[in-house]
Amino acid sequence: MFDLKIQNAKTITGERLSLAVKDGKIVKISEQIEEPAKEILTLATDEYLSAGWIDDHVHCFEEMNLYYDYPDAIGVEKGVTTVIDAGTTGSENIGRFYELAQAAKTNVYALVNISKFGIVEQDELADLTKVQSDLVRQALTEFPEFIVGIKARMSKTVIGENGIHPLLMAKTIQKENDNLPLMVHIGSNPPELSDILKTMTAKDVLTHCFNGKPNGILDQQTDKIKDFVWEAYHKGVIFDIGHGTDSFNFHVAETARQEGLICHSISTDIYIRNRQNGPVYDMATTLEKLHLVGYSWTEILDKITRVPAENFGLSNKGHLSVGYDTDLTIFKLKQGEKTLTDSNGNQRIATELIEPTQTIIGGKVYQVPATVGTH
């Protein structure tokens, strides 16, 4: 007997299916499944099913002061099955984060900050004595299933007088540890974005890719994507949204889309303040903004399932296929009007909205509060 059977499901492409679960894994997918199950979930006619949504840039170590939140408040309660904390903790405090994360319903992973205390203070890379490769290696050895990469924040308020040097150190640490994934935060200069992208290599993740700052990807004089940005894009640097409080601009995203620079992955950079006060609120709201600037729902779902799973080596997640973890998101698409605000206060009206209704993690079904996506 199956543990769970989901019937009357449909994907965003219109495929009809039923799905059976045993021991937290998808064990059968068919148009109709007759075998019995301990629990049966029948979807409503207006509900869709996708692989579980993955947010690859969040901040959810609750014992921090600057950027923090609670995994389930930004995960299972928002239709998100998996979150990756993007460098909130470093080698000295990631052990405590791991302990707390084990109590969450949401799947929690981490990128370890190359600064040993993480983001205890805004300028964690101003003092390079805090960057110690042996401590990073020790953390990777101690928490190999939890840590899925490293994080370096490369913007003016973080690096002090150190220029591009912290990123060079991060690249060295990366090479010393089997070229594990590296996420790089960008913002105001120094360092110059051109130097950052020149240093990054294929499969490195550039987050905050559509920020509206002068040091961003858009030349504010010509209103075109900068040439060196295209060079990085074509060499395989991964462009990630990382919306955040100050890092998503409608015009930049729309201009990039029109020129053919398509983001690879969609993430929120959510933490308690921009969750409660905006402009982020939740993953669904971020998805609505990408849809508004021209991304199809099919594209969008791929960028929060398959793509982040592959980027960070989550080999059992991101696909609606037999053998994968039963991490699923059930959602509705609705017509309506909703005012969306980017990080610079620009507003637009969305008329097609996405609303997660249920989150399934490891085969367990959780209801999403009705307020999600209504901001």
Tell me if 319 is assigned to a ligand binding site.
Answer: no
> Do 308 and 267 have their domain in common?
yes
d(CA 20, CA 4): 6
Tell me if 38 is assigned to a ligand binding site.
Answer: no
Nearest of 67, 6, 21, 5 to residue 323 by alpha carbon: 21
Is 290 among the domain residues?
yes
d(CA 149, CA 110): 7
d(CA 6, CA 38): 11
Q: Are 19 and 27 in contact (CB under 8 A)?
A: no
Is 317 among the domain residues?
no
Give 202: exposed, middle or buried? Use CB within 10 Å, 0-12, 13-18, 19+.
Answer: exposed
Question: In the prediction, which pLDDT does 325 show?
Answer: 98
pLDDT tens series, the chain, 375 aa: 999 999 999 999 999 999 999 999 999 999 999 999 999 999 999 999 999 999 999 999 999 999 999 999 999 999 999 999 999 999 999 999 999 999 999 999 999 999 999 999 999 999 999 999 999 999 999 999 999 999 999 999 999 999 999 999 999 999 999 999 999 999 999 999 999 999 999 999 999 999 999 999 999 999 999 999 999 999 999 999 999 999 999 999 999 999 999 999 999 999 999 999 999 999 999 999 999 999 999 999 999 999 999 999 999 999 999 999 999 999 999 999 999 999 999 999 999 999 999 999 999 999 999 876 666
d(CA 123, CA 118): 10
Is 33 among the domain residues?
yes
- Cβ neighbour number for residue 203 with a 10 Å cutoff: 13
> Do 152 and 7 have their domain in common?
no
Show the tokens assigned to 32. Answer: 């109709």
Is 179 among the domain residues?
yes
CATH number at residue 124: 3.20.20.140
Question: In the prediction, which pLDDT does 55 show?
Answer: 99
| Range of the structural domain that residue 344 is part of | 2-50+322-367
> Do 212 and 86 have their domain in common?
yes
> Do 78 and 211 have their domain in common?
yes
- Cβ neighbour number for residue 34 with a 10 Å cutoff: 7
> Do 46 and 62 have their domain in common?
no
Tell me if 185 is assigned to a ligand binding site.
Answer: yes
Question: In the prediction, which pLDDT does 371 show?
Answer: 72
Question: In the prediction, which pLDDT does 370 show?
Answer: 82
> Do 42 and 58 have their domain in common?
no
d(CA 37, CA 181): 39
Q: How many domains does the chain have?
A: 2
Tell me if 57 is assigned to a ligand binding site.
Answer: yes
* Residue given tokens 């409608």 in the structure block: 250
Is 101 among the domain residues?
yes
> Do 111 and 228 have their domain in common?
yes
Domain termination site, one of 312, 332, 347: 312
> Do 156 and 239 have their domain in common?
yes
> Do 199 and 332 have their domain in common?
no
> Do 246 and 361 have their domain in common?
no
Residue type at 308 in one-letter notation: P
Is 372 among the domain residues?
no
Give 129: exposed, middle or buried? Use CB within 10 Å, 0-12, 13-18, 19+.
Answer: exposed
Show the tokens assigned to 143. Answer: 């928490």
- Cβ neighbour number for residue 158 with a 10 Å cutoff: 21
Is 198 among the domain residues?
yes
* Residue given tokens 């019995």 in the structure block: 36
> Do 62 and 31 have their domain in common?
no
Tell me if 208 is assigned to a ligand binding site.
Answer: yes
CATH number at residue 36: 2.30.40.10
Is 307 among the domain residues?
yes
> What is the pairing mode between strands 16-22 and 224-225?
unpaired
- Cβ neighbour number for residue 199 with a 10 Å cutoff: 17
> Do 31 and 174 have their domain in common?
no
- Helix/strand/coil (H/E/C) assignment for every residue in the chain: CEEEEEEEEECCCCCEEEEEEECCEEEEEECCCCCCEEEEEECCCCEEEEECEEEEEECCCCCCCCCCCCHHHHCHHHCEEEEEEECCCCCCCHHHHHHHHCCCCCEEEEEEECECCCCCCCCCCCCHHHECHHHHHHHHHHCCCCEEEEEEEECHHHHCCCCCHHHHHHHHHHHHCCCCCEEEEECCCCCCHHHHHHHCCCCCEEECCCCCCCCCCEECCCCEECHHHHHHHHHCCEEECCCCCCCCCHHHHHHHHHHCCCCCECCCCECHHHHHCCCCCCHHHHHHHHHHCCCCHHHHHHCCCHHHHHHCCCCCCCCCCCCCECCEEEEEEEEEEEEEECCCCCEEEEEEEEEEEEEEECCEEEECCCCCCCC
